[in-house]
Structure 1
Amino acid sequence: MALTKNDIVARVHELGFTKKKSVDIIESLLMIIKNNLENGDDVLISGFGKFCVKKKSQRRGRNPATGSDLILRQRRVVTFKCSGKLRDKINKNA
Structure 2
Amino acid sequence: MQAGTLTRADLAETLHSEVGLSRSESSKLVEQILGHLCEALAKGENVKISGFGSFILRDKGERIGRNPKTGVEVPIAPRRVLTFRASQMMRDRIVAGA
* Corresponding residue SS for 2:45: coil
Q: Residue 10 of structure 2 aligns to a residue in which SS?
A: helix
Map of 2:57 onto structure 1:
53
Question: What does 1:19-58 align with in structure 2 at a 5 Å threshold?
Answer: 19-58=23-62
Cα deviations by residue, 1:25-57 (Å, 9 ceiling, x for unpaired): 011100111111111111011111111000000
Aligned to 1:5: 8
Q: Structure 1 residue 93: deviation in Å? A: 4.0
Partner amino acid for 1:12? L
Identity of aligned residues (%): 37
Counterpart in the other structure of 2:76 = 72
Q: RMSD across aligned C-alpha pairs, in angstroms?
A: 1.4
Summarize the Cα distance change of 1:66–1:5 in structure 2 as closer, same or farther, 3 Å threshold: farther
Further displaced range: 1-10 or 63-72 = 63-72
SS of equivalent to 1:89: helix
TM-score where L is the length of structure 2: 0.86
